[in-house]
């Protein structure tokens, strides 16, 4: 058969037809055509706002449900917390355990804002910066637990008629103010806590109009000072103990420590 036979040209596949249609493109080094990869990649101007939005949403969720920063404007917790300190508050810990004596906690002013779903939406809106916080927040230390009877005699705390052993400034950075102040005795209701500032003689706390604090008003436990750097520290609870009440004359010679001037009590969230 000669090469000019017309049937010969029909039987031979053309070079284009011989190449499989699904053969990878020379520019395809990742297993797919380069044109497809280009179509799937979002433009930078679209990716950037999405990344910012995701980061913002994560920050709001973190602040609303896990950890929140608070600013300390008063001297009621001196020397543990100084004026202008910034602290972080763990908002999950009391879902895992009950508040304990010695915990430094942030709590809402009682009856100062909505509750339930309305309260959750209000907190979310405040976290987004849409509205200011609906409640005032305070920071104090838990001293009395539910069911206990608390009394302050000449500045010394007694729990169930037993003296509360509190660490001194030198031992734990925790101020035990002993003055001529007396309070109680009062019995702490179930589900409530008795809170006091470390700067005992300059603190509006459960001894004043704040009263005992309900469990559900406690925001969380302060666990670290993050600002300023010079004050950065992990916040731990001092060792507490109860001992039998000393004779009345044993308390007469108590020395009153220096007192820090009074400051406003509000501790708003950052």
- Which residues are tagged catalytic? 76, 140
For residues 149 and 185, the answer to whether their CB atoms sit within 8 Å is yes
Ramachandran angles phi, psi of 170, nearest 5°:
-70, -30
For residues 265 and 81, the answer to whether their CB atoms sit within 8 Å is no
Tokens 């109680």 sit at which residue? 184
What gap in Å lies between CA 36 and CA 70, rounded to an integer? 49
The DSSP result for 156-209, as a single string, is EEEETTEEEE---HHHHS-----SS--EEEEEPPTTEEEEE-SSGGG--STTTT
Tokens 């920050």 sit at which residue? 59
Alpha-helix residue ranges (DSSP H) falling in the chain: 6-11, 15-18, 34-40, 44-61, 93-96, 116-127, 169-172
What gap in Å lies between CA 48 and CA 50, rounded to an integer? 5
Tokens 């055509």 sit at which residue? 33
DSSP assigned state of 269: B
Tokens 């596949």 sit at which residue? 13
CA angle, 233 as apex, 232 and 234 as ends, to 5°? 145
């Amino acid at each position: 058969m000669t090469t000019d036979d017309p049937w010969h040209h029909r039987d031979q596949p053309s070079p284009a037809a011989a190449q499989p249609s699904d053969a990878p493109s020379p520019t395809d080094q990742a297993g797919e055509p380069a044109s497809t990869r280009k179509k799937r990649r979002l433009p930078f101007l679209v990716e950037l706002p999405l990344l910012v939005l995701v980061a913002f949403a994560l920050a709001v969720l973190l602040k609303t449900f896990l950890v929140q920063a608070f600013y300390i404007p008063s001297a009621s917790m001196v020397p543990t917390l100084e004026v202008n300190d910034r602290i972080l508050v763990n908002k999950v810990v009391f879902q895992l355990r009950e508040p304990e004596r010695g915990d430094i906690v942030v709590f809402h002013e009682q009856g100062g804002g909505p509750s339930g779903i309305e309260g959750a939406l209000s907190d979310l809106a405040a976290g987004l910066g849409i509205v200011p916080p609906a409640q005032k927040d305070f920071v104090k230390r838990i001293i009395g637990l539910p069911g206990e009877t608390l009394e302050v005699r000449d500045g010394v705390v007694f729990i169930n008629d037993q003296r509360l052993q509190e660490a001194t400034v030198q031992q734990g950075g925790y101020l035990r103010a002993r003055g001529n102040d007396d309070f109680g005795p009062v019995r702490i209701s179930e589900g409530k806590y008795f809170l006091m500032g470390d700067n005992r003689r300059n603190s509006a706390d459960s001894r004043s109009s704040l009263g005992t604090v309900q469990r559900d008003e406690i925001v969380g436990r302060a666990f670290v000072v993050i600002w300023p750097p010079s004050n950065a520290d992990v916040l731990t609870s001092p060792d507490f103990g109860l001992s039998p009440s000393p004779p009345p004359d044993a308390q007469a010679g108590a020395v009153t420590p220096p007192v820090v001037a009074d400051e406003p009590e509000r501790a708003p969230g950052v």
